[in-house]
Amino acid sequence: MNGELLQKIVSALASGTVVTLSVTFGALALAILLGLMLATMRHLSSSRSIEFLIAAYTELFRNVPSLTYLFLIYFGLAYLGVKLSSFTAAVLGLGLIGGAVLADVFRSGLQAVASGQREAALSLGLSPWRCFRLIVLPQAMRVSLPPLGNYAIGLVKDTSLVAAIAAPEIMFNARQIVNQTFETATVYGAAALLYLLITIGIGRLLGHFEKRMAY
């Protein structure tokens, strides 16, 4: 392999890594926000209509392949006149799917907090909202952190799907380089190494946060 080819591969994969990380953290932020909101509404509300709507949302987004929603958002909305960039469609699609996954994760975390915690806080004069925000939610987040970490690592790998809508992430750029150079093993091997480094890094970071929260 000559130096020019090596430089081309490194440049393309480095550019793809930036997009992969941007999509990952953008979709993760949207998924956490949406999942936490849905879990909170489901936990605090006694309305059967809200319960049904949230349950329908989670079932709808969890039981259909992710690629289907990426196509619907990117190509389907464009057909209706709403044109989104591939990056925006990727973040929106993966974030909406992730919101459905994390809604159940956060709901399980909220249910794991003993009811006595809430009763003790209310007996001390805290309002229901302050009780939830200061007592229940922090404990639920600590319980939810390990599955949240697993989801984040899985999300990094799922970003490879957005190559199908021409988002220039790692796999999209890797395929472009392979088509030009035919260095299949080298390019895809480097891509696999990048994914490994990213997922290990995120896992270590979340492990650090988990230890801090446990302390």
Residue-wise pLDDT tens digits, 24-38: 999 999 999 999 999
Cβ pair 99, 66 in contact under 8 A: no
- Residue 54 tokens read as 């949230």
Q: What is the DSSP letter of 83?
A: -
Indicate the burial class of 197 (C-beta count within 10 angstroms; 0-12, 13-18, 19 or more): exposed
CATH code of 56's domain? 1.10.3720.10
Q: What residues make up the domain containing 72?
A: 3-214
pLDDT attached to residue 215: 60
- Residue 211 tokens read as 């230890």
Q: Is 182 left (phi over 0), alpha (psi -120 to 50) or beta?
A: left
Q: Which residues of 63-86 are buried (b: 16+ CB within 10 A; e: fewer)?
A: eeebeebbeebbeeeeeeeeebeb
pLDDT attached to residue 69: 93
Q: Positive or negative, the Cα torsion across 68, 70, 73, 78?
A: negative
User: How far is the C-alpha of 107 from the C-alpha of 215, rounded, in Å?
Assistant: 23
Domains: count for the chain: 1
> How high is the mean pLDDT in each 10-residue block of the chain (215 residues)?
76 90 95 93 83 91 91 92 92 94 91 82 80 85 88 92 88 89 87 92 82 69
Q: Among all chains, which residue has been given the structure tokens 């395929």?
A: 175
Helix, strand, coil in percent for the chain, rounding step 5: 85, 0, 15
Residue-wise pLDDT tens digits, 186-197: 889 989 999 999
User: How far is the C-alpha of 88 from the C-alpha of 111, rounded, in Å?
Assistant: 34
